[in-house]
Structure 1
C-alpha cells in the first residue's frame, strides 16, 4: 500500500494517489468493471465470512475520489500470472454502471490485483489512523507481509510470522432465524421458473423444438404439433405453448405482444398489444391441460419444499412442524402468498424454536495458534494466553469469538489497551459503544493482582 501526494509542495488538504496491490488470485477481467464500477455488486442468498459484504467499501472510496478529483480509478488484475488486464474507468452514479475509458493488456509474471485512486485528503490529520489501521491489520493477519509507503517517504514493513492461511470459509444457505421480509421476497423470485420473454429468439426456439423449420402453420396446427411432442419439449417451450393456448395466437401475432402478468389467483392473463397500444386481459380456464403448467411456474415451490431447499439444516419433519406452528398448509405455494402472509411467514421463521443451530462452516476464524504468534511478535510479553470459543449464533447468524491477553514484557503502553477486530478488520472507531470495552472496564482487575496502569493488552476478534 502506498500514498503519494500529487503535488508534495502544496499544504493539506490536497490530492493524493492511494494505491493498494496484492499477490493474490486476482479478479477475472469480465468481473473487474462490475466489481469496481457498480454499487452492491455481490452474491445472492449465501452466507460466507468475508472482509466485506456488499462491495461498498472499495466503491465508496472510488466514488469519493471521483467526486473530489474527477479522475478515474486504475485497476490492474492478473489471474494466470501471464496476462494483466488494465482498466481506467469512472462510475456512472445515475445508472450505477461502469464507464470504461481505457482497457489494455500486457504481459506479467505474477498474479494479483492493484487499485489506484486519486482523492482529496489531509494526511497530516488522518495519518495516525491510517498507520494504526495498517499496524493492526498486520497483527490480525500474521500470515501476510504488509508494507506501507507514506507520503513522507517512510516505509513501514510487517513481515509474516506464519506461512499457512486459515481454512477458507464455505458458502452455506441462510438460517431461518436470520431472515427478514425483504430477503424472503428476493428469495421467492428465485424459487419459481421465470416466464420466458416471447421474442423472435424464443419463437425460433419453439419452431426448432417443434420441428417446424420455415413452415407457416395455423394456431390449431401448432397446438396439435405441440401436444404430440409435449414430453420432449423443454420447459421454456412448454410455457410458451401454454401461453399460446390461452391467447389462441399463431407465431406472427405472438411476436406483436408481450406478457405483462399471469394472475393465478384471479385466473387472468394480461398482455400488452403493441398494435393496439393497450393492455388486454383474458380469462384462463383452470380445467385446461395447460393451466397447471403456468400455475406451477408462477406459484413456485410448496412451503415445505421451499424450507428444505432454501434454508440450512431444515429437513422434511422440521418443515412440517413449522407449517403447523405458523398455521400454514404444507402444500401452500410460496408464489401465491400475499404481503400479510409473507410477514406472517417471516415472523414464524424468526420465532420457531425447533430449528437447529446455524452451521458455523461459513466462518473462517484466525485460530488460536496464529493469533498467539501474531501477538508474540508484536508485543513480546511476559505472559500471553489466547482462547477461541465454540461457535454461537445470534438472530440466525453464527459467530466465533477469539480473545487474547498479553501482559508485561515489551508492551509499551501504560494502562490497558484493547484491540478490536471483526472478520479480521481493525475497528478503530466507536470504541466507547463496544461491549468488549465495557466488559474490560467493568472487570475488577484487582482480583487478578493487577492495579494502576498495567502494561496489559487485550485482543478481541469476532
Structure 2
C-alpha cells in the first residue's frame, strides 16, 4: 500500500488574485472594463482630494481595432492634475498587489490595496501589454515607466523608463485590456454621470470609443477638507491587532555600532581621551535625565557588561532575559555566546525591563488608541481585572484574549473620532441633486457621526421629487466614500431599508417620480466583496439609514400634502370658474335686467 505525500506551497498575493480575479470585480470582459475605469478614476480623485486640489480628470477608452467585434482589446487611459507619484514608488505602486497608500485609518475610496494593480494584472493576462505610467510630482520632470507584473513573485518588471521636462504635476495611467464596451458602455457612462453628482467640485471628461465626448464640468469650487489619519478605536480591535500593536510599542534594542557609540559619546560630552568605563558611567549618572532612550539603553547594557566603548564594539547583544535576570551577547573575538548576570536592584535594571516588557497597560491605552485619557484607562483596567501597571510585553495568550474581549465590552469609551471622515456636506449634495434632476422638491440630511465595530461613519442622504425625474420611483443612487455602486444592488443595505419603507404612510402611492441619494462615508466600508459594489447590513449603519430616510420621507410627505391642498384649491377654483358665467346669467334674469 503506497501513500502520497501532499506538497505544500505558498503563493504570492498577485498569483492568488490571478486565479481568483472574480473577487475583485474582474469576472468577464464587460465587468472588467467597468471595474478598471472605476479603479483608475477613483485613484485620480483620491489623490487630488488628499492634497486639496480641485480635480480635472480625463478618461479615454479607445479600441485597438475598431472593426473587430466585442469582446476585444481596448486602451484605457486616465489623466489627472493631482500631485503625481515620486519615481521611486511608481514600480511598486503599479506592479505589486496589496501595495498602496490607503492602509491608514482614514476615509478613502480605496481600501483593499488592490485597485489599479488588479486592473493592470487583468490587462496583462488578457493582452500581455505593459502598463504605461507618466508622472510628475514636482511639475518639472515627468517620469515615464512601462511596467509588467511578475505574477509568481508579486514584483514589478520595468520594461522601460524615460524622463522629460514638463510644466505641471499630474499622473497618466494607460493600460491595454480585453473588454466589451458594447455591454459595459451604459454602466461606464452612468458611473461618470453619478460620480459627477457626488463630486460636484470635480471636472470629469469622458471620450468613448465611438468618438462621443461626455463632459461634466465642476459646479462647486470648494473641495471638502481632507480626512486625517487617526488612531484606532478600542471597539474595533481584535487579538491579532493588539498583538501587532504591542510589538510596535516595544522598544527595540539599539544596534551598538560605530555610529551608536559616537552618538553616546557626543550626548555624554566625552572627549576622545575620556573613554574609560568609569568615566562613561560617571558622566551618564550626571546627565541621565537629559539622555535619549536609545542612549540610556546602551548605558544600561554597559553597566552590566562592565565594558568600555572599545570592548563594546566587539560584541553583539543577543537577548535580555528578564525572568532569569541574564544578559546574553555574542563575543566576536572568541566567536562564542556569553552571558552575564543582571542585578535586579541596579538602577539600570528598570531601564532594560522597560525595553523588553514594553509599556504599562494604561500608557499603552492612552498612546495607542483614540480618545482614551488616564482616568478612563485606569477605569478600564479595573473593569478588565488588569493591574494598571501591567507591562504589555508580559501578557500571555489568554490575557490577550481577555483584553480584547474587555475592550469590546467596556461601554465608557468615548464615541469614535470623526475627524478621519470627509463627508460631502448637505449643501454640495443639494446643489448636485438640483443640477442633475431639476426637481420640484429636494431635501437633504447629514446624520451625526456614529460607529460600527469601532469604525466611525456618517450617513448623508437626499430625496427629490418631480421635475426631470422619471416616474417609476423610487430610483436609488447608492454611494460609499463617494463611489457610485452600480452592481449587486439587490443585496445592499440601502435597498433593504428603502424596500422595507411603507411609502403609503408618507402619501406616496403608485410609482411617482422621485429619487433617493444615499452616501455612506467611513474609514472602513463593510463591503461584501473586494469588488466594492454592495454594503453589508451592519445593524448600526442600517439604523442610521432608516433614521435619515424617515426624516426625509416626512419632509416629502409634508410637500405632498401641501401640493395636494394646492391642487384641491385649484380644482375648486376651476369649478367656480366654470359656474360663475351661469350664476351671472341667472342673477341678471332675476334682476330683470
Which secondary structure does the structure 2 equivalent of 1:236 belong to?
helix
* Counterpart position of 2:208: 150
TM-score normalized by the length of structure 2: 0.69
Partner of 1:178: 236
Q: Distance in 1 between matches of 2:102 and 2:519?
A: 26
Shift of 1:272: 5.8
Counterparts in 2 of 1:338 and 1:261: CA distance versus 1, 3 Å: farther
Which of 190-199 and 360-369 deviates more? 190-199
State whether residues 423 and 461 of structure 1, in contact with CA within 8 Å, keep that contact through their aligned partners in structure 2: yes
2:69 matched to which residue of 1? Answer: 11
1:112 paired residue among 158, 162, 170 = 170
Single out whichever of 395-404 and 26-35 deviates more from structure 2.
26-35
The structure-2 alpha-carbon separation of the partners of 1:143 and 1:299, relative to structure 1 and needing over 3 Å to count, comes to: same
Structure 1 residue 419: Cα displacement? 1.0
**Which residues in structure 2 correspond to 1:220-259 (within 5 Å)?**
234-246=292-304, 258-259=316-317
Tell me: CA distance 1:255–1:418, structure 2 relative to 1, closer, same or farther (3 Å).
same
Indicate whether 1:456 and 2:514 are aligned: yes
Query: Structure 1 residues 280 and 428 mapped into 2: Cα distance closer, same or farther (>3 Å)?
Result: farther
The structure 1 residue matched to 2:193, chosen from 127, 131, 135, is: 135
Task: Report the Cα distance in structure 1 between the residues aligned to 2:383 and 2:481, rounded to whole angstroms.
Answer: 36
Gap change, CA 1:14 and 1:269, over 3 Å in 2: farther
Give the TM-score, by structure 1 length: 0.87
Structure 1 gaps, min length 5? none
Q: Indicate the residue corresponding to 1:196 in structure 2.
A: 254
How big is the shift at 1:456?
2.1
Alpha-carbon separation, structure 2, partners of 1:453 and 1:30: 56
Greater gyration radius: 2
Q: 1:81 aligns with which of 139, 147, 169?
A: 139
Checking the alignment, whether the CA contact within 8 Å between 1:45 and 1:173 is kept in structure 2 is no
State the Cα deviation string for residues 56-77 of structure 1 (Å, max 9, x = none). 2122222333343443322222
1:296 aligned counterpart, secondary structure: helix
Judged with a 3 Å threshold, the aligned counterparts in structure 2 of structure 1 residues 265 and 148 are, in CA distance, closer, same or farther, namely farther
Where do residues 262-301 of structure 1 align in structure 2 (5 Å cutoff)?
262-271=320-329, 283-301=341-359
Write the distance in 1 (CA, Å) between the matches of 2:352 and 2:102: 26
Instruction: Call closer, same or farther: CA 1:58–1:271 in 2, change over 3 Å.
Output: farther
C-alpha separation in 1, matches of 2:256 and 2:483: 48
1:442 alignment counterpart: 500
Aligned residue for 1:387, secondary structure, equals: strand
Larger displacement relative to structure 2 (266-275 or 370-379)? 266-275
Q: In the alignment, what sits opposite 2:481? A: 423
CA deviation after TM superposition for structure 1 residue 324, in Å: 0.3
Deviation at 1:355, TM superposition (A): 0.8
Q: Is the Cα contact below 8 Å between 1:384 and 1:404 reproduced in 2?
A: yes
Match of 1:168 in 2: 226
Cα offset, 1:53, TM superposition: 2.6
Write the distance in 2 (CA, Å) between the matches of 1:329 and 1:45.
Answer: 33
Separation in structure 2 between the aligned mates of residue 139 and residue 170 of structure 1, nearest angstrom: 24
Distance in structure 1 (CA, Å) of the matches to 2:439 and 2:320: 69
- The CA distance in 2 between the partners of 1:123 and 1:257, in whole Å, is 66
In structure 2, C-alpha distance between the alignment counterparts of 1:123 and 1:249, rounded to whole Å: 74
Q: Is the 8 A contact 1:18 1:116 kept in 2?
A: yes
**Which residues of structure 2 form unaligned runs of 5+?**
1-58, 521-593
Contact 1:265 1:336 in 2 (8 A): no
8 Å CA contact 2:146–2:159 kept in 1: the answer is yes
Provide the C-alpha distance between the structure 1 equivalents of 2:102 and 2:358, rounded to a whole number of angstroms: 18
Cα separation, partners in 2 of 1:89 and 1:289, compared to 1, 3 Å: farther
Partner Cα distance (2:343, 2:129) in 1: 60
Q: Tell me if 1:126 matches 2:126.
A: no
SS for the counterpart of 1:25 is: coil
The structure-2 alpha-carbon separation of the partners of 1:227 and 1:167, relative to structure 1 and needing over 3 Å to count, comes to closer
Distance 1:217 1:393, change over 3 A: closer
Confirm whether residue 347 of structure 1 aligns to residue 405 of structure 2: yes
Q: CA–CA distance in 2 between the matches of 1:207 and 1:14? A: 68
Q: Which residue of 2 aligns with 1:371?
A: 429
Q: Deviations over 1:379-436 (max 9, x none)?
A: 2222222111111222222211111112222223534221111110111233122222
Structure 2 contact 102–108 (Cα < 8 Å) conserved: no
Q: Assess, with a 3 A threshold, how the Cα gap between structure 1 residues 341 and 133 changes in structure 2: closer, same or farther.
A: same
State the aligned residue count: 462
RMSD: 3.2
- Quickly say closer, same or farther: Cα 1:268–1:456, change in 2 above 3 A: farther
1:293, CA displacement in angstroms?
Answer: 1.9
- 1:93, 1:262 → 2: CA distance? 42
CA distance in 1, matches of 2:265, 2:69: 71
Q: CA-to-partner distance for each residue in 1:420-460, whole Å, 9 max, x for gaps?
A: 11110111233122222112112222233333332221111
Quote the offset at 1:333 in angstroms: 1.5
For 1:25 and 1:456, the matched residues in 2 are separated by: 39
Alignment check: 8 A CA contact 2:96 2:154 kept? yes
Deviates more, 1:242-251 or 1:114-123: 242-251
Q: Cα offset for 1:43?
A: 6.1
